[in-house]
Chain A
Amino acid sequence: MSLWFPRLASDRALRLRPVEAAFALTAKQSNTDRLHCLDARAERAGLARGMTLSDARALQPDLITRPADAPGDARFLRALARWAGRYCPWVGLEGADGLVLDVTGSTHLFGGETGLIADMRMRLSRAGMETRIGLADSRGAAWALAHFGEGIAAPGQPLQALGDLPVAALRIDPKLVIGLERLGLRSIADLHATPRAPLARRFGNGVLLRLDQALGAQPEPVTPLADPPHYGVRLTLPDPIGLLEDVQAGAARLLAQLCSKLRHHDQGARVLLLTLRRVDQASQQVELRLARPMNDPQAILPLFDRGLAGIEAGFGIDQLRLAAIQVEDLPPAQIQSAVRQDENDGLAALITRIGTRIGLENVQRFLPADSHIPERSFIIAAAAFSDPAPSWPLLRPRPLRLFPPEPVAGTGRTPPARFRWRRMTLRVERQAGPERLTPEWWLEDESWRSGLRDYWRVETAQGRRLWMFHTPQHPGWYVQGEFA
């Protein structure tokens, strides 16, 4: 059985955000925007796949377009394959926009083949998917029916169902299709009636192989999608345990199992969840968020200590379950020098331990950003999810601490000679400036509404060295930072 979604990409986009006009998705191919997938209304207006966007707009001025998202479509097709598992367990992908199902033996559950197809069609059309369905003895025949005619081929007589279909329905190269049509072999029945030896000599074995596959003379298996590996292990105990050391020993045993599985798949755990079930059916959970993907049980186990210490054992714990909720790729890396490796491991373990206390996103680092606006010239990123910047560009003297602007009394374009700031009276001894910074007009920022800023480095007789600015467009003086 073969399912073809002729408008997979545009149907998916319209499911997310429906529009009331002709709609198409565009993809950039060799520097030109071309139509990638379009809905029925656009097709009726005379548009076709592969047309350039400007041509399409000339034909259909009110065409609505969005950029295509190929990885998203691939994920969606996998989701559809998972859904199709409700009809039979043997579901594979067919190209980028189709599914192939081996429904042998499961059709009676849905009232026969017609019942199965009707149910499938009803559910897919309710979800807004346009679908062509073909059902036949062989994979090739089902594909041909789905793409070129739809319907059910009677068992045992593939030629009857396929005979009138064009040769393109055999999944062969378009160049070969043209070659065959030049010879007058337009339908599959024509091709079948032709002697095989001259055909093989002229077009190679591929055509005959496809013909045999469609007619069922050659087998073609359906390869189902592999289940994603499941990272969860459990330990059930005959007698309940209550000591911390016992729970740790149980966790160590589970962790060793889980980590060997993770290592086998070149994965590392990012979030681990240890569920402890008590005798009275209550369960407690310890979540561990790691600063980087890890699959080394010896390194992970001590990180559980803090979480396990807070566990209330009650009448005893009789089941432990450990699952890696979030995993990331962790390919084997080249061994670094031992010192460097230890340093990195130690730092990651420290970040994890601190993350269990204050939250992993509260351990941060500075990264440089491309802006002249002082508040935006750096970003603060979670240390566990970012790498340190290679170096920090040192451009101009900047204050050590930066705070939200604090207004001070003052007029004129040069800093006031005396002013009060934070309940201190300060006398200006020296000043350097101005350094003019203009707001970034492309970003809306409330605090830069007052327009241009002239920054001054001001040294006071009291010792404090401040970063002040004047806003000429809305006259006023502010202190924004303090130098060393």
Chain B
Amino acid sequence: MSADFAVCYPLKRGRAHEACGPGATYFAATCCNFSDKPAFWISPSWQQGGLNPEGLAAYCDPTRLLLARAASQIDILAVAEEALRSGAVGLVVAEIYEPLSLTHGRRLQLAAEAGRTTGLILTPDGMGSNAAETRWCCMPLSGDRDSTLHRWDLIKNKSGTLENWVTRWDATARRVIVVSKAGERPRAASATG
């Protein structure tokens, strides 16, 4: 199971991916670590609940983050395409608020391929396009002691099967760790939590 996660999770470079659900911001924040180039985060200019760099600092380095505030969905997509194509950044995160058409999704995919850059589109539920390489639905989970549990459902995968994982954040190693499923969990691990 974890082998599959290792294939999917550091998102495939040069492709555009999608994430939805309430934990999508966290998912994007953990993805910022995988490149030594800066990350580019595009959001609507009227958005109220903005990113908090103090919170981001736990997952990635906010000093290596560039923000763009665009007025409309078309601007967001245009900026995302430009950033993906340039290859000057390692990850482009775009927050959209309207459904993404197949044309727009495909354009982003081509731009990501041209720039060898990873794209991640944060969509509202069910507004993604069919052109995405993978789509992740991210939900925070309540845990007994662990307050970093997330359930990541891989709900679309162009090059593999669908799967879901429960992950937690390891603050010392600063990386995502998959929590073993209940049936496979060794006894010792369940005793300590």
Contact = CB atoms under 8 A, between A and B. Distances in A.
B115 to A, nearest CB: 10
Interface of B: 22-23, 25-26, 29, 37-38, 45, 48-59, 61-71, 75, 78-79, 82-83, 86-89, 139-142, 147-148, 150, 169
A433 to B, nearest CB: 13
Contacts of B67: 363-366, 380, 383
Contacts, number: 148
The majority secondary structure among interface residues of chain B is mixed
A398 B150 contact: no
B37 to A, nearest CB: 7
B52 A358 contact: no
Interface centre among B56, B141, B142 (most CB of A within 10 A): B142
B148 A362 contact: no
A430 B147 contact: yes
B69 A358 contact: yes
A374 B150 contact: no
A401 B52 contact: yes
A484 B37 CA distance: 23
Interface in A352-397: 353-354, 357-358, 362-366, 368, 374, 377-378, 380, 383, 388-395, 397
Contacts of B87: 346
Given A392-B57, A394-B58, A465-B147, A349 B86 contact: yes
B66 A400 contact: no
Interface centre among B61, B68, B70, B87 (most CB of A within 10 A): B68
B8 to A, nearest CB: 20
Contacts of A362: 45, 68-70
A357 B86 contact: no
Interface stretch (A41-49, A121-129, A455-463): A455-463
Interface in A382-431: 383, 388-395, 397-404, 429-430
B140 A465 contact: yes
18 contacts: A349-B88, A358-B70, A364-B66, A365-B65, A366-B65, A366-B67, A383-B67, A391-B63, A392-B61, A398-B55, A400-B26, A400-B59, A402-B49, A404-B48, A463-B22, A463-B141, A483-B55, A484-B23
Contact of A353 (B22, B29, B75, B86): B86
Given A363-B68, A400-B29, A392 B63 contact: yes
A140 interface: no
A211 B128 CA distance: 88
Contact of A392 (B62, B83, B139): B62
A118 interface: no
Contact of A350 (B25, B52, B89): B89
B164 to A, nearest CB: 14
A481 interface: yes
Q: How large is the interface on A (under 10, 10 to 19, 20 to 34, 35 or more residues)?
A: 35 or more
A390 B55 contact: no
A483 B55 CA distance: 8
Contact of A351 (B22, B54, B66, B169): B66
Nearest to B36: A343
B142 A463 contact: yes
Given A351-B66, A402-B49, A464-B22, A374 B54 contact: yes
A357 B81 CA distance: 12
A347 interface: yes
B52 A484 contact: no
A347 B147 contact: no
A346 B71 contact: no
Contacts of A349: 86, 88
A365 B55 CA distance: 15
Interface string A417-452: 000000000000110000000000000000000000
